[in-house]
Amino acid sequence: MTTYDTELIMPLTLTITGARSTDHHELTWYADLFARYLGAFADDESHFYIGGAKGIDSLTLLWLAGNSKSKITIVAPGTVAQQPAEARQAIDRCRERIVEIVELGAEELRTPAYHARNRWMVDRSDMVIGFPREGTEGTSGTWQTINYGAQQGKPRLIVPV
């Protein structure tokens, strides 16, 4: 077997990042979107890092837990208890499918803590899949994560929502 063959069968580790505001589409719209764009990566060997927040984080967690056998790690900038109720409920609902919960222990949940969490996930991933709000590229945490992945030379899949 060549190195190329080995790379083709090696499992991927992926970071998911995305908008917190997702009310502008129906849940079925997101389910179809995830089936199309996450489904290709969601196999028994893949490992997803998800930020554990509301919005895309919670929606992708629920979709992956219900539609794949991929490994799932939740990464909180502080603790899970500090996350919004929607995020905590999604984590509780998917507890048996989550292989690890990482709490980075930030005392204050401000922009630097979220950026540190995002860098932590990207540093441990082979690829970044971003679901930013439609429109121009901005300074959101989603774009910060996508751009950090680019700086690290990691492939990025950008799917506007």
Confidence band, pLDDT 50/70/90 cuts, at residue 4: low
Show the domains of the chain with their CATH numbers: 12-158 (3.40.50.450)
Q: What is the band of 138 on the pLDDT scale with cuts at 50, 70, 90?
A: confident
Token pair 């860098």 is found at 119
Helix (H, G, I), strand (E, B) or coil at 116: helix
Prediction pTM value: 0.91
Tell me the C-alpha to C-alpha distance, in Å, between residue 124 and each of 45, 50, 51: 15, 12, 13
State mean pLDDT over 22-46: 95
Interval 62-114: pLDDT, tens: 999 999 999 999 999 999 999 999 999 999 999 999 999 999 999 999 999 99
Report which of 61, 49, 57, 48 is spatially closest to residue 93, judged by C-alpha positions.
61
pLDDT tens digits, one per residue of 89-99: 999 999 999 99
